[in-house]
A = this chain, B = another copy of it.
Amino acid sequence: MSMNRRDLLGAAAATAAVSSLPRFALGAPAADDRAKLYAEIGKRHGEAVARLQDWVKNPTIAAEGRGIETGCAQMMALARDAGFQTAVKMPTSGVPGVFATLDAGAPKTVGLYFMYDVKQADPAEWTTGKPFDASIVDKPGFGKVLVGRGAVNQKGPESALLAALHAFKGAGVKLPVNLVLVAEGEEEIGSPHIREIVQKPEVLAALGKTMGVFMPSASQDADGGLTVSLGAKGVVELELVSSGAKWGRGPSKDVHSANRARLDSPAFHLVQALATLVNADGDPAIEGLAAAAKPPNAAQSAMLDAAAKRLDEATAKKMLGATRWAHDDAWRASLERLTFSPTVNIEGLVGGYIGPGGKTMLPNKAVAKLDLRLVPDMTFDGAIAAIKAHLQKHGFGDIEVNVSGGYGPTETSSDAPLIRAQMAVLKRDGLDPLLWVRNAGSYPGYVFTGAPLKLASGHHGLGHGSGAHAPDEYYVIESTNAKFAGYDGAARSFVDYLYELAVIR
């Protein structure tokens, strides 16, 4: 559910001319070990890529109930092979998760969040027709890339972190931190049961000892743009279902549209309900929904100022196929709205006859698929309660609100060691990351940043890929472009980060 940074920012950002600098400079501590580790990563490149290919070839797709048990077993095996001493299946009401620990005898412990599921893929939309064959192809201007569903979201970056761990194991170097891994298999349907995993006493206890939790990611845009994000909006995905049966008006089965004259229309009932959810400008009009939304503080305003200067508006509009921002906002205002405004979105409308042409029917049912995006301090439960109360108050209490997934917003301070360590290693690599107030997309980091854990949470990793949730998703294996790292560079960036986390105060 997280969103490719490039799509979000359209970042044709000014970046440091990294090619002229030592790309992966060594920090002071354990410099010899790190050289050994880099060499080991290079030596094990082939087996690491084969491991990723095998993972992509065996997809878990929660929406389709596909590869659930096999995916969970593979996730456990991947963890154990990489050095985790324990890796256990965590049953939930839905798809099981995995909880794994790696005790290196280090003073500090770092949390990892993985997803082992991927988004659905329609073979007909893929150039190869094979979203799961994990083929490695030449992509001009990029290098060799692995094409497949999950390549960048999120198996590629996750496997690069595992490759880093294999390097420690293979080189006989002690890990500088202990690790606690929580993996879920239904991120792509809104992580409906991740609470059940994290709230298990043993998981809570293990995570409670960490300095924060990060998810491996491919943070580099095609043009080298790189952001360090301090959180993400929350999300609620739900369906509103209007039906004659529940309403007690209109037909309870599809009937000829001639009857419209004497029967109420559940489809119009839905339309009328939807129209109350936003104001004339399309902004949320659900009473109380945004009551807890916080405006930017001074530091956040400064981040937005900086972002507006570094990010390119024309590129962003072009990538979105848009000519105007909502409210005809200027660039800075559009970025503030992107990060600070809650939203009500129609993902899909479906009711009655949806084929070509028309069909003279009065449908008994119509459905709107919505997502709401939440900003701090809004909550998942609060948003659902608000929309239900709103519908009730406006005469639409019969409309079913079927929540399929979601969670609250994630927020981490820029002062958190987890974040400062990122900034440190990236700057040491000659990169100039943009500190970003929060992703407008969502990931379930709230289970870590919210009560009771209140941990820092973020994403980290060099490397590049794109096409999450889209056809021809890819992840760069061998980069021919100085603006982003390849697979081994990504693995090395995790080595660097773990060392930095071990020493940062």
Residues of A bordering B, CB below 8 Å: 1, 3-4, 7-8, 63, 189-190, 233, 235, 237-239, 244-245, 248-253, 255-265, 267-272, 274-275, 278, 280, 282, 320-326, 329, 334-335, 337-339, 341-364, 366, 369, 371, 373, 404-405, 439-442, 469
Is A347 in contact with B323, judged by CB distance below 8 angstroms? no
Is B259 in contact with A360, judged by CB distance below 8 angstroms? no
A352 CA to B352 CA in the complex, in Å? 15
A-B pairs, 5 with minimum CB distance: A252-B321, A258-B440, A348-B352, A275-B275, A348-B353
Is B346 in contact with A190, judged by CB distance below 8 angstroms? no
Is A251 in contact with B358, judged by CB distance below 8 angstroms? no
CB neighbours (8 Å) of A353 from chain B are 347-348, 369
Is A258 in contact with B439, judged by CB distance below 8 angstroms? yes
CB neighbours (8 Å) of A341 from chain B are 261
User: Do most interface residues of chain A lie in helix, strand or loop, or is the interface mixed?
Assistant: mixed
A373 CA to B342 CA in the complex, in Å? 40
A271 CA to B282 CA in the complex, in Å? 11
Is B267 in contact with A338, judged by CB distance below 8 angstroms? no
* Interface hub of A238, A357, A364 (most chain B Cβ within 10 A): A357
Q: A255-B7, A264-B326, A346-B363 are in contact. Are A404 and B250 (CB under 8 A)?
A: no
A66 to chain B, nearest CB (A): 13
A-B contact pairs, 29 of them (CB 8 A): A8-B259, A244-B321, A249-B324, A252-B321, A252-B323, A253-B321, A257-B373, A258-B373, A258-B439, A259-B320, A261-B440, A262-B325, A262-B326, A262-B335, A264-B324, A268-B278, A272-B280, A275-B275, A346-B351, A346-B352, A347-B352, A347-B360, A348-B363, A349-B352, A349-B366, A353-B369, A357-B404, A358-B369, A358-B371
Of chain B, the residue at the smallest CB distance from A281 is B264
CB neighbours (8 Å) of A260 from chain B are 343-345, 371, 373
Is A1 in contact with B360, judged by CB distance below 8 angstroms? yes
CB neighbours (8 Å) of A405 from chain B are 358
CB neighbours (8 Å) of A7 from chain B are 255-256
CB neighbours (8 Å) of A189 from chain B are 357-358
Is A3 in contact with B258, judged by CB distance below 8 angstroms? yes
Is A338 in contact with B259, judged by CB distance below 8 angstroms? yes
Of chain B, the residue at the smallest CB distance from A271 is B274
A261 CA to B325 CA in the complex, in Å? 9
A386 CA to B280 CA in the complex, in Å? 23
Q: A258-B439, A405-B358 are in contact. Are A251 and B349 (CB under 8 A)?
A: no
A469 CA to B190 CA in the complex, in Å? 39
Is B258 in contact with A349, judged by CB distance below 8 angstroms? no
A422 to chain B, nearest CB (A): 21
CB neighbours (8 Å) of A235 from chain B are 360
Is A233 in contact with B258, judged by CB distance below 8 angstroms? yes
Of chain B, the residue at the smallest CB distance from A270 is B349
A272 CA to B271 CA in the complex, in Å? 8
CB neighbours (8 Å) of A469 from chain B are 256, 359-360
Known: A252-B321, A347-B353. 18 other contacts (CB 8 A): A189-B358, A190-B358, A239-B358, A251-B322, A255-B321, A260-B371, A261-B339, A261-B341, A262-B329, A262-B337, A264-B282, A268-B346, A269-B282, A271-B275, A345-B362, A347-B359, A349-B349, A350-B350
Kindly identify which residue among B259, B354, B442 contacts A258, using a CB–CB cutoff of 8 Å.
Answer: B442
Is B347 in contact with A441, judged by CB distance below 8 angstroms? no
Is A271 in contact with B441, judged by CB distance below 8 angstroms? no
A104 to chain B, nearest CB (A): 37
Q: A253-B321, A271-B275 are in contact. Are A357 and B258 (CB under 8 A)?
A: no
A371 CA to B353 CA in the complex, in Å? 12
A8 CA to B263 CA in the complex, in Å? 12
A266 to chain B, nearest CB (A): 9
Of chain B, the residue at the smallest CB distance from A245 is B321
CB neighbours (8 Å) of A249 from chain B are 323-324, 326
Is B3 in contact with A256, judged by CB distance below 8 angstroms? yes
Of chain B, the residue at the smallest CB distance from A350 is B354
A269 CA to B369 CA in the complex, in Å? 15
A77 CA to B344 CA in the complex, in Å? 59
Is B256 in contact with A8, judged by CB distance below 8 angstroms? yes
A355 CA to B63 CA in the complex, in Å? 10
